[in-house]
Homo-oligomer: A and B are copies of this chain.
Amino acid sequence: MREELETELALVSDLLVAMAAAVRSAMRTATTALLTADRSAADAVVTGDAEVNDLRSRVEDRVYATTARQAPVASDLRALFTALHMAADLERMGDLAKHVAQIAQRSHPEPAVPTELSELFSQMGQVADQVAGKITQVLSEADSRGAAQLDHDDDAMDRLHRDLLGLLLDPSRSYSTQTAIDAALLGRFYERYADHAVNAGRQVVFLVTGKPVSG
């Protein structure tokens, strides 16, 4: 019984690692699609989101089946519930990558982001990639140290988000309404992506150490 439960927990953890890798790759590809007006990259992200959703369903089904069959004790049950939370955050990160790709799709063949904003979005993409990478690292190495930097990355994203709004509202620049709307939504998508990544990272720490992360 105990061995079976360990196997189930390991399988759930593998699914979460796969989800984290998938949503990291999705946002990386979405950023490329956005900055290079690459239609096929954008299409790939939009199509690929179904896989992320499918992985989440598999996490939920396994957690449900394991709980029903094995009546796990407190710490195992807590791990299973934490996995549900993580899967929800990771699925949402996949959705956000898809939203970025959809903006790239809609403006194609024009780039959605004007040249003078592309450096900022490139940085947002890099921070998103870092923060998503830490989840995978912490999950697969069961090492909570990397997660300590998650808040730092999130602060970096918030700063970039504020810079973006400052540029958009700078009266000396003049963007079209479409550009302003797209850029504001994109800024929000990246910022939310990092937020969910930080949440997911906190949950890994909780899973690994049994202690909630403060803040």
Contacts and interface: CB of A to CB of B under 8 A. Distances in A.
Interface residues of A, number: 23
- Copies per complex of this chain: 2
Interface stretch (A11-19, A47-55, A63-71): A63-71
A67 B73 CA distance: 10
Contacts of A177: 168-169, 175, 177, 180
Contacts of A64: 77-78, 81
Interface of A: 60, 64, 67-68, 71, 73-74, 77-78, 81, 84, 88, 165, 168-169, 175, 177-178, 180-181, 184-185, 188
21 contacts: A67-B67, A68-B73, A68-B74, A68-B77, A84-B84, A88-B88, A165-B181, A169-B177, A169-B178, A169-B181, A175-B177, A177-B177, A177-B180, A180-B180, A180-B181, A181-B181, A181-B184, A184-B184, A184-B185, A185-B188, A188-B188
